[in-house]
Copies of this chain bind each other. A is one copy, B any other.
């Protein structure tokens, strides 16, 4: 019998308790022994709820309990989660977490602490919710040199963009609806500004390439400037707008960015809609692989956390190797990356095309019936730097990058 503790009885924490109860027998079969939740740390009490008898308010009760082998951290945020996780590892307990902020900020330090003690620090649920992606990257794609990871990593923004695309609604209206449905937070900044997706691509990039990406160095743009007009142009181009987190290895540099991109029907993530997440990976020998599923939600996320618990129980006394070290990865300068850009400028083709072509060279003009006083175009491939220089010479309304990945 393996006993575990859960830090935080919120959405994911209560999901973990539910999954372990629901699938008790099959989990025991998979883990090689029964797995039981012994203690749950929460500031609150839950009178009348069967969980109440397991609730503790002091983390040290868990840390000092020699019966507890594995600690599940699902509190979110950096502190006190970071302190509690370190204490658990120091006390000889493996840790499983869904906390992407913690992993993005302190992953390699916690991995090293676990390794030094023959314990494990696992975080499958920190990226892609229930979708198995951390373990496949870590254990399945080991024969490959990864050349690209591109993902729709945030369910909230994918829901908003899908609704805007399908219903022609405005960003503000869809955000409000998403908040009412509980898909978006009252303060949606972490999602809509791309901060959440940015941490996730930083984690995936670190795992794929073996050194640490500082998420603060990943160029990050949110979806707040995407308008219904942008979607009309997108449709005309046979594209949709998706918030992508992507890192690509070009030469010996890795270039990472989180931003809205236009993608067309040949793109592997074109059909990943609503709150689903999808992650595309290209390796130098495997070629293309894609993973998709529920990127968030109580039970899918809990499923990933509990899979980590099972792995910790199976690997008691053995550290499961990762290649993620604390060595800092020097990301390539995003200004050097060449790509296509979709641009909207004020004016009309008749009056302003010459000026635009003077700045951008050959372009493909896109006009949408009913959108007046402006026109759109797609540039030839150019670097971000060259783009910014050219854009300074035109009266730009908005620009969205294009991602041209397609399945080979």
Any chain B CB within 8 A of the CB of A75? no
A142 touching B293, Cβ below 8 Å: no
A70 CA / B114 CA spacing, docked (Å):
28
A302 touching B22, Cβ below 8 Å: no
The segment from A85-93, A131-139, A185-193 found at the interface with B is A131-139
A136 touching B142, Cβ below 8 Å: no
The segment from A57-65, A154-162, A238-246, A283-291 found at the interface with B is A283-291
B321 touching A32, Cβ below 8 Å: yes
Any chain B CB within 8 A of the CB of A306? yes
Name the B residues within 8 Å of A310 (CB-CB): 142-143
B136 touching A323, Cβ below 8 Å: no
A31 touching B288, Cβ below 8 Å: no
Given A27-B143, A143-B303: 20 more A-B contacts, CB < 8 Å: A19-B143, A23-B285, A32-B321, A130-B287, A132-B136, A132-B289, A135-B135, A135-B136, A135-B139, A142-B311, A143-B309, A143-B310, A144-B303, A285-B303, A286-B299, A287-B297, A287-B299, A288-B293, A289-B294, A290-B292
Name which residue of chain B comes closest to A20, CB basis. B143
A210 touching B300, Cβ below 8 Å: no
Task: Among A132, A292, A318, find the residue whose CB has the most chain B CB atoms closer than 10 A.
Answer: A132
* Interchain CB contact (< 8 A) of A289 among B30, B142, B293, B306: B293
A95 CA / B261 CA spacing, docked (Å):
44
Any chain B CB within 8 A of the CB of A304? yes
A132 CA / B310 CA spacing, docked (Å):
19
A286 touching B135, Cβ below 8 Å: no
Among A1-31, those with CB < 8 Å from B are 19-20, 22-23, 26-27, 29-31
Q: How far is the CB of A225 from chain B (nearest CB, A)?
A: 29
Among A259-296, those with CB < 8 Å from B are 271, 276, 283-294
A144 touching B286, Cβ below 8 Å: no
Any chain B CB within 8 A of the CB of A307? yes
Name the B residues within 8 Å of A20 (CB-CB): 143
A306 touching B135, Cβ below 8 Å: no
A323 CA / B407 CA spacing, docked (Å):
34
* Interchain CB contact (< 8 A) of A142 among B31, B130, B142, B294: B31
11 A-B residue contacts at CB 8 Å?
A: A30-B142, A30-B323, A135-B139, A139-B311, A142-B307, A142-B311, A143-B310, A285-B306, A286-B299, A288-B294, A289-B292
Name the B residues within 8 Å of A285 (CB-CB): 19, 22-23, 130, 299-300, 302-303, 306
